[in-house]
């Protein structure tokens, strides 16, 4: 490559890095997580091994010998030469171990409390909680409720526990006690297996297309055209006002809507003068909730289209307007015959861009209705958020949430490719014919 080309690559580096870190890697991770059982309970890193009474109960239901399950389910502390020497090697005080050996050799204790009480009754008892706990742990032979970092540790502990296990049972036990995440297609099965998915999909389509058609392109176009015919100063004022929703912090913006809509808010108060019973207008019915969701998002979304359309209208050569006026064209004819045809590409661009943007935006709905009433305004991206990052009982389902998000990623990529084709992107970036 020539030095000039290297310079080009160098110039592209920051952008490339940005795309890789903030776009490609999240997309890849979403795709990977979508095929795992990852949740708060499994953690994101490598899991451990934990045998609980429930694990044993489940295995017994699936055919493990009940007496084996029962012996695995006991907490046992054994005092024998082996455990004594293990404790000695770990540095437990010799006097304690000697006395323990003399008084309790060969004894087995059911449960931690019994054994700790025996330790505490020694003359040479451990004199701190730490010493007590650290002495006791070497005598525990059972595997119940102990976390093992590695498979080998669990296998060694199982061997030391003295419980006889068939190879098959041992394998099943080790598998069932793994606490980490595993690869699975369950998320997809679950997604396609529930009626919720269809409901959320329908909500998403309503949200995206109604907001898009009425506001993000429709109303944006109205604003751009009307302000075009206003004197410059007034036009700037109006555009400034319509820009406010976008630059107001979302939390504050939605709070204003809530003050407007709720039981003791503006709307209820004013309507109260006419005898209308006060109510939470935003959450009163599913229809009301949709009206507010569309208005809240639409007022924000309209400003972007307004700016783009306004500049596009200004780019139309003015002689076209002068000529049409000489020909006696009305304002409406100017809009229909001059402005709209010239705005074809900007309209297409805003429509496509805003489809993608609406598909993934849920922050205003989260703040306003949080998907309510009764999940009627729960859109796809909000459902993914609720699943992956919001749970009253603390167990966040990263895997299932990622599977939901993956659907959005796929739709986004497919639509993007489609738009590139429609816009004929190759032609836009083609080498100019005049320059060499």
Partner 1 sequence: MGNPRKFASTLAAAALTASLATGTAPAADMTITVWAGGSNASDVYRVDAIEMAADILAREAEIRGESINVTVDKKLYDGWDDFKQAVTLAAESGNAPHIVVTGHEDIAPWANAGIIRKIEDLIDMDAWPINDIFPNLIEISSYEGAVYGLPQDAESRPFFAWIPHMKAIGYSDAGIAALPERVAGGEYTLYDVLDDAKKMQDQGVVEPGYGFYPRVSNGPDYWQFYQSFGGEMQDAASGKLIYDQGAMTRFYQFFADAVAMGVTRKNHVGTPWDQWYAEVASGKAGLWHGGTWHYARYTGKEGLTGFFDKIQFTLIPAGDANGRPNTITHPLVYLVTNRGTDDDAFIAAELVKIASEPRINTLHAIKSAHLGIAKSQTSIELYSNDRWASEATERLLPSANAMPNNTDFGVYWTAMWKGLESAWTGQKSPEQAAADAAAELRNALGDRIVMR
Within 213-252, which residues bind partner 1 (CB under 8 A)?
Answer: none
| Distances 66 to 49, 73, 77, 165, 224 between C-alpha atoms, Å | 21, 10, 22, 12, 76
Cβ neighbours for 172, distance < 8 A, ≥ 6 positions apart: 59, 62, 64
Closest CA to 151 of 253, 26, 23, 49: 49
> Of 102, 128, 232, 436, which lies in the binding site for partner 1, with binding defined by CB under 8 A?
128
> Of 9, 17, 19, 90, which lies in the binding site for partner 1, with binding defined by CB under 8 A?
90
User: 122-135 burial, b if ≥16 CB within 10 A, otherwise e?
Assistant: beebbeeeeebeeb
- Using CB under 8 A as the binding rule, whether residue 274 contacts partner 1 is answered as no
Least spacing, CB of residue 379 vs partner 1, in Å = 15
One character per residue 295-334, x = contact with partner 1 (rule: CB under 8 A) = ----------------------------------------
- DSSP H/E element including 14: helix 3-19
**Nearest CB to partner 1, comparing residues 226 and 391:** 391
Site for partner 1 in 155-214 (CB under 8 A): 179, 190, 193-196
Would you call 373 exposed, middle or buried from its count of C-beta atoms within 10 A (0-12, 13-18, 19+)?
middle
**Nearest CB to partner 1, comparing residues 285 and 333:** 285
Which of the ranges 76-84, 246-254, 256-264, 295-303 carries the binding residues for partner 1, by CB under 8 A? 256-264
* Dist CA 322 CA 71 (whole Å): 96
Site for partner 1 in 347-376 (CB under 8 A): 369-370, 372-376
* Dist CA 219 CA 239 (whole Å): 12
Least spacing, CB of residue 35 vs partner 1, in Å = 17
Site for partner 1 in 41-60 (CB under 8 A): 41-45, 47-48, 50, 52-54, 57
Cβ neighbours for 307, distance < 8 A, ≥ 6 positions apart: 239, 243
- DSSP H/E element including 41: none
DSSP for 257-319 reads: HHHHHSTTSHHHHHHHTTTPPP--TTTSSHHHHHHHHHHHHHHHHHHHHHHHHHHHHHTS-HH
Least spacing, CB of residue 34 vs partner 1, in Å = 16
- Using CB under 8 A as the binding rule, whether residue 402 contacts partner 1 is answered as no
> Of 66, 127, 164, 421, which lies in the binding site for partner 1, with binding defined by CB under 8 A?
127
**Nearest CB to partner 1, comparing residues 286 and 415:** 286
Helix (H, G, I), strand (E, B) or coil at 183: strand
Cβ atoms of residues 106 and 79 within 8 Å: yes
Which of the ranges 148-156, 290-298, 316-324, 402-410 carries the binding residues for partner 1, by CB under 8 A? 148-156
> Of 396, 404, 405, 407, which lies in the binding site for partner 1, with binding defined by CB under 8 A?
396
Q: Give the number of other Cβ atoms within 10 Å of residue 256's Cβ.
A: 14
Least spacing, CB of residue 38 vs partner 1, in Å = 10
**Nearest CB to partner 1, comparing residues 113 and 314:** 113
Q: How many residues bind partner 1 (CB under 8 A)?
A: 74
**Nearest CB to partner 1, comparing residues 170 and 279:** 279
């Amino acid at each position: 490559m020539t030095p000039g080309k290297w310079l080009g690559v160098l110039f592209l580096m920051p952008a490339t890095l940005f795309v890789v870190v903030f776009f490609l890697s999240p997309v890849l991770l979403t795709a990977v997580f979508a095929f795992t059982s990852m949740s708060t309970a499994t953690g994101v890193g490598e899991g451990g091994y934990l045998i609980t009474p429930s694990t044993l109960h489940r295995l017994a239901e699936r055919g493990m010998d009940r007496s084996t399950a029962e012996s695995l389910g006991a907490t046992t502390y054994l005092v024998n030469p082996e455990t004594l020497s293990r404790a000695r090697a770990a540095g437990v005080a010799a006097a304690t171990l000697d006395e323990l050996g003399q008084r309790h050799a060969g004894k087995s204790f059911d449960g931690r409390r019994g054994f700790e009480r025996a330790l505490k009754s020694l003359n040479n008892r451990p004199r701190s909680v730490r010493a007590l706990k650290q002495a006791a742990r070497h005598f525990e032979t059972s595997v119940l409720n102990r976390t093992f970092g590695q498979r080998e540790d669990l296998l060694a502990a199982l061997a030391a526990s003295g419980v006889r296990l068939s190879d098959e049972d041992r394998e099943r036990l080790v598998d069932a006690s793994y606490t980490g995440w595993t690869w699975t297609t369950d998320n997809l099965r679950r997604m396609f297996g529930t009626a919720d998915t269809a409901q959320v999909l329908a909500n998403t389509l309503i949200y995206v297309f109604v907001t898009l058609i009425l506001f993000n392109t429709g109303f944006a176009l109205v604003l751009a055209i009307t302000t075009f015919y206003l004197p410059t100063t007034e036009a700037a004022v109006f555009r400034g006002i319509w820009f406010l929703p976008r630059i107001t912090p979302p939390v504050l913006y939605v709070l204003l809507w809530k003050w407007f809509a709720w039981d003791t808010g503006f709307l209820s108060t004013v309507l109260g003068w006419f005898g209308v019973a006060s109510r939470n207008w935003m959450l009163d019915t599913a229809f009301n909730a949709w009206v507010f969701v569309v208005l809240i998002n639409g007022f924000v979304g309209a400003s972007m289209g307004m700016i783009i359309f306004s500049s596009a209208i200004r780019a139309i050569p003015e002689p076209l307007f002068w000529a049409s006026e000489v020909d006696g064209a009305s304002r409406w004819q100017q809009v229909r015959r001059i402005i709209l045809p010239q705005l074809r590409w900007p309209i297409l661009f805003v429509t496509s861009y805003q489809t993608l943007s609406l598909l993934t935006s849920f922050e205003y709905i989260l703040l306003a209705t949080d998907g309510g009433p009764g999940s009627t305004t729960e859109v796809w991206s909000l459902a993914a958020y609720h699943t992956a990052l919001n749970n009253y009982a603390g167990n966040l389902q990263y895997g299932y949430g990622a599977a939901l998000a993956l659907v959005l990623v796929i739709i986004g990529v497919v639509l993007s490719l489609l738009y590139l084709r429609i816009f004929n992107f190759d032609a836009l970036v083609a080498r100019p014919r005049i320059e060499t």
